[in-house]
Amino acid sequence: MNPLNLPSRTAGQHGPLPDFLPTGDGVADITPVVAPTGDRIWLVTAFDLGRAVLTDERFSRAAAVAPEAPAIHPMRPDPAALTSLDPPQHTRLRRLVNRPFTPRAVAALEEGIRRQARRLLAGRDRIDLVAQYAMPLSAATICRVLGVPEAEHARFAGLADRALGVTTGTFEEQGPARDALRAYISELIDRARRDPGEHVLGTLATAYDESGALSHDELTALVELLLNAGYETSIGQLGLAVVSLLEHPEQWHRLATAPHREAAAAAAVEELLRHAPVVPMSFTRVARQDVRLGTVVVRAGEALVVSLLHANFDARAHRDPDRLDLTRCPARHLTFGHGAHTCLGAQLARTQLRVALEELAAAAPDLTPRTPLPSLHWRQPEAVVRGPLTLPVNLALPRPEAATGRRHP
């Protein structure tokens, strides 16, 4: 049995998911399981309980990245990363990088995201929505936030793709590729220290050099986290959203023909985030003390994760949860987490996904897959971030080559 299997194959379970094997008599909302690493953990599957756990300071992120702590993935997080810290260290570092992700700052990025999306779609009849749309769009956006020169966007995307396995789907070459990406990040930091400029890299470099507000390890980990999260998760989320819409063509038609597409896309984004979360599980947390959750006691030192995927499909929190409904209001979800560790770039992710879908709907109201959706190749189940490796689509209704007298690009 794999408790991450949902009742319906099309209800959120896109691609393979890691195996979590039950080990005892848990309850519906929290189950003892063995992770793919062989470690024993608690898996929370309920929406309300999961949201409560994510805000409960009795569960520690810092303790969860200790070498001896139970883990759900073979690659352990960097202990200096923002996502690996508890308050007050987490609060201190998050304050340094909040400004570029405020609603006002994100709104200032929207027009640039829109222009890039239109350029990527212009003049095409066919496109791979991963390699030719999501990847360059995400790279341009996060590079603009950080201050990476436009001439180096392709270099960054290539390094990040190999390091994170965005389109390769294998882990064999990721070690050396991660080293190359880290070397490039160090290069960017060195440049920012010499010439800070008006961007996140400059702000962090100044905080390191002038105020001592963060250590060298924290500086490197922060930049790496922002680059990886702003790139990898955006690519996966757009791919999952489009797959969901292609599986439900009536919903795509609803979006593409909406008289007020921006408002319709904004609502669609929340439902798509609920229905197809790019990260199916929260980060691991370790209990600082014995904690009672319902009828279960999680003992001090035991690890726990929240299945965001299960929580998003909890029938007690969502009416008819298996159904994709772009007009669902409200479309509550835990896809960005909850509490102190709520995704820093949630507003940017929402904006990029909305704009990407708006422009895709405008360019391709008759969007269709070029390959059967069940035959798509996906990132490996061990990957923290899920998504299709490729997503070839027709932007226009397919036409016979002889009738058009031209080749599709």
Q: pLDDT (tens digit, 9 = 90+) per residue, 115-126?
A: 999 999 999 999
Say if residue 262's pLDDT is above 50.
yes
The full length of the chain comes to 409
> Which pLDDT score, from 0 to 100, does residue 408 have?
44
Say if residue 98's pLDDT is above 90.
no
Instruction: Respond yes or no on whether the N-terminal peptide bond of residue 88 is cis (omega within 30° of 0).
Output: yes
The two structure tokens encoding residue 65:
């990245």
Q: Where are the alpha helices (DSSP H) in 286-376?
A: 308-312, 346-363
Say if residue 20's pLDDT is above 90.
no
**Average pLDDT over the chain, rounded to whole?**
89
The answer to whether residues 395 and 363 touch, using CB atoms and an 8 Å cutoff, is yes
């409200």: which residue's tokens? 330
> Which pLDDT score, from 0 to 100, does residue 13 have?
66
Say if residue 4's pLDDT is above 70.
no
Burial code (b: 16+ CB inside 10 Å, e: under 16) for 46-63 equals bbebbbebbebeebbbbb
Say if residue 9's pLDDT is above 50.
no
Confidence bin at 229 (pLDDT 50/70/90): confident
Q: Which has the closest alpha carbon to 375: 396, 395, 391? A: 391
The two structure tokens encoding residue 144:
């603009």
Mean pLDDT for 335-348 is: 93
Q: What is the pLDDT of residues 304-319, one digit of tens each?
A: 999 999 999 999 999 9
Q: What are φ and ψ of residue 337, in 5° steps?
A: 80, -160
Q: What are φ and ψ of residue 369, in 5° steps?
A: -75, 145
Q: What is the pLDDT of residues 140-165, one digit of tens each?
A: 999 999 999 989 998 988 888 888 88
Q: Higher model confidence: residue 277 or residue 15? A: 277
CATH number of 77-276+321-404: 1.10.630.10
Say if residue 208's pLDDT is above 50.
yes
Say if residue 404's pLDDT is above 70.
no
Contacts for 246 with CB less than 8 Å, ≥ 6 apart: 252, 367, 368, 369, 373, 393
Q: Which has the closest alpha carbon to 246: 129, 330, 119? A: 129
pTM value is 0.91
Mean pLDDT for 339-349 is: 92
Contacts for 27 with CB less than 8 Å, ≥ 6 apart: 294, 295, 296
How many CB atoms are located within 10 Å of the residue 182 CB? 16
Confidence bin at 406 (pLDDT 50/70/90): very low
Q: Higher model confidence: residue 28 or residue 389? A: 389
Confidence bin at 405 (pLDDT 50/70/90): very low
Could you tell me what percent of the chain has a pLDDT over 90? 64
């160090």: which residue's tokens? 186
The answer to whether residues 203 and 196 touch, using CB atoms and an 8 Å cutoff, is yes
Mean pLDDT for 338-352 is: 93
Domain boundaries, the chain: 77-276+321-404
> Could you give the CA distance from residue 172 to residue 381 in angstroms, rounded to a whole number?
15
The answer to whether residues 207 and 97 touch, using CB atoms and an 8 Å cutoff, is no
In the chain the first and final C-alpha atoms are separated, in Å, by 45
Q: What is the pLDDT of residues 44-53, one digit of tens each?
A: 999 999 999 9
Q: Higher model confidence: residue 157 or residue 172? A: 157
Mean pLDDT for 330-349 is: 93
Say if residue 33's pLDDT is above 50.
yes
Say if residue 342's pLDDT is above 50.
yes
Mean pLDDT for 354-365 is: 97
> Could you give the CA distance from residue 280 to residue 333 in angstroms, rounded to a whole number?
12
Say if residue 38's pLDDT is above 70.
yes
Q: Which of 17-31, 68-82, 169-183 has the highest mean pLDDT?
A: 68-82
Lowest mean per-residue pLDDT among 18-27, 183-192, 218-227:
18-27
How far from chain centre, in Å, is Cα 182? 20
The answer to whether residues 14 and 243 touch, using CB atoms and an 8 Å cutoff, is yes
> Could you give the CA distance from residue 286 to residue 300 in angstroms, rounded to a whole number?
7
Contacts for 233 with CB less than 8 Å, ≥ 6 apart: 278, 279, 349, 385
